[in-house]
Amino acid sequence: MAVDRDQVLRGAAALLTRKSTATMDEVAKAAGISRATLHRHFAGRDALVRALEALGIAECETALDAARLDEGPAPDAARRLVREIEPAAGLLAFLYTENQLFEGEELHHGWTRLDDRISDLFRRGQLSGEFRIDLTPAWLTEALFGLLASGAWMVQSGKGAPKDFQHMIAELLLGGALRPGQAPHSPAPQNPAPQSSATQIEES
């Protein structure tokens, strides 16, 4: 009855997302198969993590496609992105922190692709005047992943409601903690604004 490889991966992801140090034995149990069978499908823990990485990347790519990042206002695209990527947030949180371990090893080239696609969104928003330009697209991308991880953990630990996930992340990422209209205090120099789509009231 050939174990459903994808099913196994999802079971593994569900566990490793919560306990990143879980044993192959625990993973096997979580997936509902024996350790032997787990080994038959994935040469070792490393191979398993790689497979999860591939799964995570694939889900992200799918999410990015579904979010149609290059359509409409950039902020709306960012919100769509958060919405589409939510199901993968737990897995991403695992992979994101896991990646901090791979010191020298080259990281999966798929990540750089994702990074690029998301960075492009932020860059597009900057060019259109919708996003501020004193925060680099690379940082905004990194911050998005960080917030996704924080949000996923918060929900998992029960400190936050799942229904608030998208709002929490998208709103903080886009609007920050300040109330709209609040003038920044020690702001970075912001160009007079080439301006563009929407109204902007200029600050200070």
Partner DNA sequence: CCAGGATGAGACATCTGTGTCTCATCTGGG
Partner DNA sequence: CCCAGATGAGACACAGATGTCTCATCCTGG
Binding residues for DNA (CB under 7 A):
1-3, 23-25, 32-37, 39-40, 43-46
Report CA-CA distances (Å) from 49 to 55, 59, 167. Answer: 10, 15, 30
Contact 162, 152 (CB under 8 A): no
Which option in a second copy, DNA, none does residue 73 bind, with CB closer than 5 to 8 A by kind? a second copy
Of 25, 71, 87, 139, which lies in the binding site for a second copy, with binding defined by CB under 8 A?
139
Tokens of 63: 């999410």
Which CB, 1 or 183, lies closer to DNA?
1
How far is residue 130's CA from residue 141's CA, in Å, rounded to a whole number?
16
Which residues in 26-65 contact a second copy (CB under 8 A)?
Answer: none
Question: Could you tell me the smallest distance in angstroms from the CB atom of residue 35 to DNA?
Answer: 7
Question: How many residues are recorded in the chain?
Answer: 204
Which CB, 103 or 202, lies closer to DNA?
103
Question: Could you tell me the smallest distance in angstroms from the CB atom of residue 91 to a second copy?
Answer: 14
Least Cα distance to 61 among 112, 124, 122, 131 occurs for 112
Which residues in 185-204 contact a second copy (CB under 8 A)?
Answer: 185-188, 190-194, 196-203
Which residues in 1-30 contact a second copy (CB under 8 A)?
Answer: 18-21
Which option in DNA, a second copy, none does residue 2 bind, with CB closer than 5 to 8 A by kind? DNA
Which option in a second copy, DNA, none does residue 32 bind, with CB closer than 5 to 8 A by kind? DNA
CA 130, 132, 137, 140 dihedral sign is: negative
How far is residue 29's CA from residue 190's CA, in Å, rounded to a whole number?
54
DSSP three-state, residue 156: helix
Contact flags string 153-172 toward a second copy, x per CB under 8 A: xx----xx---x--xx--xx
How far is residue 90's CA from residue 61's CA, in Å, rounded to a whole number?
16
Report CA-CA distances (Å) from 44 to 28, 48, 54. Answer: 12, 6, 15
Question: Could you tell me the smallest distance in angstroms from the CB atom of residue 135 to DNA?
Answer: 38
Which option in a second copy, DNA, none does residue 35 bind, with CB closer than 5 to 8 A by kind? DNA
Which option in a second copy, DNA, none does residue 44 bind, with CB closer than 5 to 8 A by kind? DNA
Report CA-CA distances (Å) from 69 to 57, 113, 140, 186, 202. Answer: 16, 14, 15, 31, 26
